[in-house]
Amino acid sequence: MDRSLTGAVHAAALPGDPLLVVDGLSVHYGTSKASKAAVDDVSFTISRGDRVGLVGESGSGKSTLASAILRILPAAATVRSGRIELGGEDLLALKPAALRSIRSTRVARVPQDPLGSLNPVFTIGRQLSDVVTAHRRIGRRERTTLVEEALRQVGIGDAAVKRRSYPHELSGGMRQRVMIAMALLNHPDLLIADEPTTALDVTVQAQVVELLRERVDKSAMTLLLISHDIGVISELCTKVMVMYGGRVVEQGAAADVLVRPSHPYTRSLLDAARGKVTAYAPDPTEVVS
Ligand SMILES: Nc1ncnc2c1ncn2[C@@H]1O[C@H](COP(=O)(O)OP(=O)(O)OP(=O)(O)O)[C@@H](O)[C@H]1O
């Protein structure tokens, strides 16, 4: 049984059940009625166990969409219309306390920039520990065990020593491993990774992709992965959504979208990934869905 934030009791959720439902979502920056939507009437469903890759050129609205789901939109942004439901819970209606309670237990994020997301004045052990105690009352020794185990699970072997490190004492790859450990600590239903390898050295990128794959496999986690890198998407994802100009122009199984794209924008994106330059200019009569 699963108790929702409103206290309703649901039957245990199964793989394949809808987890995240986004319906008619539009997000604008600025208050002007004439402002262009950064996310424009977007609808999709992510089912439990899906691994969805969200691709699209810079400015297509990927991060705005992720921020809307996580309820971390900047002050300049407004949701003009639509619904976002996670496990049946209306995320846009949640009050701050309820929001705090779903963060990290229902939905968690691996950010692009781990250094900017970690607090420079606390050790990583303290920051991991705070994530655990935000949702559970547990003793100090058990907390330390959990933190060290979480660090070991992301390939940080000397966890008893490393948990005493400050963020600046770790390499970029290590910091991203810490962020992944932090995101997974409370076993969220949905993991949103926003360009998790973009800020890393090329050699470290492959290790972090492998780590993400292993952790997601082990926990059968539902993943929404935002990436410019079609290679990373094809390695990790079973489904793909393509955004262009704030809209989802194509979505489907990765094996279809990445091999037989039906939208011309997806074709040009895949060409670009293969080093072939083909310009995409939207046909005004083209219907985007
Ligand atoms: N804080 C902001 N204030 C005003 N406009 C913004 C802000 N953040 C994003 N935008 C605009 O919203 C649109 C979507 O941007 P968004 O960052 O969501 O795209 P993206 O696909 O994630 O791009 P990138 O891959 O470069 O991160 C763009 O036109 C962008 O200029």
- Which amino acid does the sequence have at 156? I
Ligand 1 contact via 176 beta carbon (within 6 Å): no
| Spatial separation of the C-alpha atoms in residues 47 and 174, rounded to whole Å | 31
- What is the CATH number for 99? 3.40.50.300
Residue 98 in domain: yes
> 């992720």: which residue's tokens?
66
Task: Summarize the confidence of residues 191-212 as an average pLDDT.
Answer: 89
Lowest-confidence range among 110-114, 122-126, 204-208, 276-280? 276-280
Max CA separation in the chain (angstroms): 63
Residue 227 is given by DSSP the state -
pLDDT digits (tens, 9 = 90+) for 46-57: 999 999 999 999
**Above 90 in pLDDT, residue 272?**
no
Tell which one of 25, 40, 42, 58 to mutate to probe ligand 1, the residue whose CB is within 8 A of the most ligand atoms: 58
pLDDT digits (tens, 9 = 90+) for 219-263: 888 999 999 888 889 999 999 999 999 999 999 999 999 999 999
- Which amino acid does the sequence have at 278? T
Residue 83 in domain: yes
pLDDT digits (tens, 9 = 90+) for 96-111: 888 888 887 899 999 8
Ligand 1 contact via 63 beta carbon (within 6 Å): yes
Q: Could you give the percent of the chain with pLDDT greater than 70?
A: 92
Q: Tally the domains of the chain.
A: 1
Residue 155 in domain: yes
What ipTM was predicted for this assembly? 0.97
Contact 22, 52 (CB under 8 A): no
Residue 143 in domain: yes
CA of 268 from ligand 1 middle (Å) equals: 21
Residue 99 in domain: yes
Ligand 1 contact via 64 beta carbon (within 6 Å): yes
User: Count of CB atoms within 10 A of residue 29's CB?
Assistant: 15
From the list 234, 226, 275, the residue with the least C-alpha distance to 55 is: 226
Residue 284 in domain: no
From the list 55, 46, 53, the residue with the least C-alpha distance to 237 is: 53
Nearest CA to ligand 1 atom 31: 59
**What integer pLDDT is reported at residue 54 of this predicted model?**
97
| Spatial separation of the C-alpha atoms in residues 61 and 22, rounded to whole Å | 14
Tokens describing residue 3: 């108790």
CA of 51 from ligand 1 middle (Å) equals: 23
The residue segments making up the domain with residue 236 are: 14-273
* Count of all residues that appear for the chain in the document: 289
Residue 116 in domain: yes
**Above 50 in pLDDT, residue 119?**
yes
From the list 237, 229, 224, 226, the residue with the least C-alpha distance to 205 is: 229
Residue 279 in domain: no
Contact 52, 225 (CB under 8 A): yes
CA of 264 from ligand 1 middle (Å) equals: 22
